[in-house]
C-alpha cells in the first residue's frame, strides 16, 4: 500500500457499528442460545473454525495492502522507526500488563467477578502485544504522515510479530500467573500471522503482475468489515448474560485501554521530538505505537480462553474504544505541530552546537 485513502464511512463510524453489533449479539444470544453454542463448539485443535474463517476475511485484505519491499526504507527513517519499535515491543505490552494488574486486580477488583480477573488481564495483554497493521494507514493520512515511513514501519512490525508475539504474550501471561497453553498460542501465531502473511505476500505479487490488486481490494474490503462485525456479534452472543448482569464491566475495561493509548502515543511523540524527527514521521510513529492489531487479539483470545472468556470480552472492548480515542490522538498531533517543530529546531541546534 503506497498511499492511504481517506477514512471511509465504515472506518469513520466504526465505534457506532461495533456498538450496534454488540447490541445485536446480546439480543441474538438471548433469543437463540443453541445456535451460538453450536458455533462455539465447532473447533479443531482448540481453534474455533467459524472465527478462523472470519479472522482470515478480516486480515487478508489488510495484509494485501502492505508492500514488504518498502523495508528498504527503514534506514532512511531509523530514528522514528527506532522509537516506534521500542514503544511497540519494549513498552506497550508491559505497560498494559501493569495497568491491567493495577486497575483490574486492585482498583476495580471489588466490582469484578474474581474468577474472570485474570482472563480480563490476559485479554488486555493480547490486545497490546501486536501493533496495528491496517487502521494506522488512515491515522497516518489524517496527520499528514510520511507514507513510506508508515509502510516500512508496518511491514517491519509484521515481520517482527511472527517471531515476537508468542514469546511476549507467553512471558506476560506467566508473570500474571495465567497458565499458558503454548501449543495453542503457537498454532494461533502460525494460523493468524505466518500463513496470512505468506499468502498475502505471494498474492500481492500475482495481483500486481495482473494489474488486479486494486479491484480485488475494493471487492474484499466490505467482506473484511462485515467479518469484523459478525465476529463481534458472535462474541457478544456468548457474553450477553455476563454483560447484562454486570454492564459496568465495559467501562472498567475501557479505562486501562484508554490510558494505555494516550500514554504510548504521547511517549512516542515526545521521544521523536527529542530526537529531532520530522513531524510527518513522528505523527504516524505515535499512532502506530499506540494502536492494536485487535483482529489477532480477538482470535487468539478465543483460541486460548474460549468465546465466553473474559479475555475475549476485553479484546472486543479494545475494538470499541480504539477509533474514538485514536481520533483524539490525531487531533492532538495535528494541533501541536507548531510546538513539536519548535522543539525539533531546538534539538537540531543543540546537536550542531555540540559537534
Express each pLDDT in 249-258 by its tens digit: 989 999 999 9
> What pLDDT, on the 0 to 100 scale, is given for residue 336?
95
Higher pLDDT, 103 or 2: 103
What percent of the chain is predicted at pLDDT more than 90?
Answer: 34
C-alpha distances in Å from residue 182, one per residue of 101, 185, 214: 22, 5, 38
Lowest-confidence region among 119-133, 141-155, 160-174, 261-275:
141-155
pLDDT at 5 over 50: no
Question: pLDDT digit string (tens) for 207-224?
Answer: 999 999 989 888 887 887
> What pLDDT, on the 0 to 100 scale, is given for residue 6?
47
Q: How many other CB atoms are there within 10 angstroms of residue 355's CB atom?
A: 4
> What pLDDT, on the 0 to 100 scale, is given for residue 16?
81
Lowest-confidence region among 26-40, 101-115, 239-253:
239-253
What percent of the chain is predicted at pLDDT more than 70?
Answer: 93
Name the class of domain 13-354: mainly alpha
Average pLDDT in the 228-236 region? 83
Q: Rg for the chain (alpha carbons), in Å?
A: 20
pLDDT at 164 over 80: yes
Beta strand 43-44 pairing with 47-48: antiparallel
Average pLDDT in the 172-193 region? 82
Higher pLDDT, 165 or 245: 165
pLDDT at 4 over 50: no
Cell numbers 485474570 correspond to: 118
- Distance, CA of 66 to CA of 217 (rounded, Å): 12
> What pLDDT, on the 0 to 100 scale, is given for residue 159?
87
Give residues with Cβ within 8 angstroms of 123, minimum separation 6: 253, 297, 301, 305, 309, 310, 311, 312, 313, 314, 315, 318
Backbone angles phi, psi at 262, to 5 degrees: -65, -40
Question: pLDDT digit string (tens) for 304-316?
Answer: 888 888 998 899 8
Q: How many other CB atoms are there within 10 angstroms of residue 198's CB atom?
A: 12
> Residue 131 region, left (φ>0) first, then alpha (ψ -120 to 50), else beta?
beta
What are 324's three cell numbers? 474514538
Give residues with Cβ within 8 angstroms of 309, minimum separation 6: 116, 119, 123, 301, 302
Average pLDDT in the 63-71 region? 79
C-alpha distances in Å from residue 225, one per residue of 10, 60, 290: 8, 12, 21
pLDDT at 231 over 70: yes
Give residues with Cβ within 8 angstroms of 92, minimum separation 6: 128, 129, 131, 260, 264, 289, 290
CA atoms within 13 A on the CB side of 43: 16
Backbone angles phi, psi at 216, to 5 degrees: -65, -45
> What pLDDT, on the 0 to 100 scale, is given for residue 12?
66
Average pLDDT in the 168-172 region? 92
> What pLDDT, on the 0 to 100 scale, is given for residue 39?
84
Cell numbers 475494493 correspond to: 218
Q: Could you give the dihedral angle defined by the CA atoms of residues 149, 154, 160 and 162, in that order, rounded to the nearest 10 degrees?
A: -160
DSSP string computed for 53-98: HHHHHHHHHHHHT--GGGGGGGGGGHHHHHHHHHIIIIIHHHHHHH
**pLDDT band of 3, cuts 50, 70, 90:** very low
Question: pLDDT digit string (tens) for 75-106?
Answer: 888 999 999 999 999 999 999 999 999 999 99
Lowest-confidence region among 164-168, 193-197, 199-203, 332-336:
193-197
> What pLDDT, on the 0 to 100 scale, is given for residue 255?
96
Higher pLDDT, 42 or 119: 119
- Distance, CA of 7 to CA of 9 (rounded, Å): 7
Number of H helices, E strands in the chain: 17, 2
pLDDT at 347 over 80: no
Ranges of each domain in the chain: 13-354
pTM score, two decimals?
0.81
Amino acid at each position: 500500500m503506497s498511499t492511504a485513502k481517506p477514512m471511509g464511512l465504515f472506518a469513520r463510524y466504526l465505534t457506532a457499528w461495533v456498538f450496534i453489533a454488540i447490541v445485536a449479539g446480546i439480543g441474538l444470544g438471548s433469543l437463540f442460545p443453541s445456535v451460538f453454542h453450536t458455533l462455539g463448539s465447532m473447533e479443531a485443535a482448540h481453534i474455533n473454525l467459524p472465527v478462523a474463517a472470519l479472522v482470515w476475511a478480516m486480515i487478508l485484505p489488510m495484509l494485501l495492502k502492505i508492500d514488504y519491499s518498502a523495508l528498504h526504507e527503514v534506514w532512511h527513517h531509523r530514528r522514528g522507526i527506532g522509537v516506534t519499535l521500542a514503544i511497540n515491543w519494549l513498552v506497550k505490552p508491559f505497560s498494559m500488563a501493569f495497568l491491567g494488574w493495577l486497575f483490574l486486580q486492585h482498583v476495580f477488583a471489588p466490582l469484578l467477578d474474581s474468577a474472570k480477573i485474570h482472563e480480563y488481564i490476559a485479554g488486555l495483554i493480547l490486545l497490546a502485544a501486536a501493533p496495528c497493521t491496517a487502521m494506522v494507514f488512515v491515522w497516518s493520512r489524517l496527520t499528514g504522515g510520511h507514507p513510506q515511513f508508515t509502510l516500512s514501519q508496518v511491514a517491519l512490525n509484521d515481520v517482527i510479530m511472527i517471531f515476537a508475539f508468542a514469546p511476549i504474550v507467553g512471558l506476560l501471561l506467566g508473570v500474571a500467573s495465567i497458565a499458558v497453553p503454548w501449543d495453542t498460542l503457537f498454532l494461533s501465531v502460525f494460523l493468524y500471522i505466518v500463513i496470512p502473511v505468506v499468502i498475502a505476500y505471494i498474492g500481492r505479487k500475482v495481483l500486481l503482475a495482473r494489474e488486479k490488486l486494486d479491484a480485488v481490494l475494493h471487492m474484499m474490503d466490505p467482506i473484511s468489515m462485515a467479518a469484523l462485525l459478525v465476529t463481534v456479534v458472535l462474541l457478544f452472543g456468548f457474553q450477553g448474560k455476563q454483560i447484562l448482569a454486570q454492564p459496568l464491566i465495559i467501562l472498567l475495561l475501557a479505562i486501562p485501554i484508554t490510558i494505555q493509548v494516550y500514554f504510548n502515543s504521547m511517549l512516542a511523540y515526545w521521544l521523536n521530538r527529542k530526537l529531532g524527527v520530522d513531524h510527518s514521521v513522528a505523527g504516524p510513529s505515535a499512532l502506530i505505537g499506540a494502536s492494536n492489531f485487535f483482529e489477532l487479539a480477538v482470535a487468539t483470545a478465543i483460541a486460548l480462553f474460549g468465546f465466553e472468556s473474559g479475555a475475549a470480552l476485553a479484546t472486543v472492548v479494545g475494538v470499541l474504544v480504539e477509533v474514538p480515542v485514536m481520533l483524539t490522538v490525531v487531533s492532538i498531533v495535528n494541533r501541536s505541530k507548531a510546538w513539536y517543530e519548535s522543539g525539533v529546531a531546538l534539538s537540531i541546534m543543540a546537536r550542531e552546537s555540540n559537534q
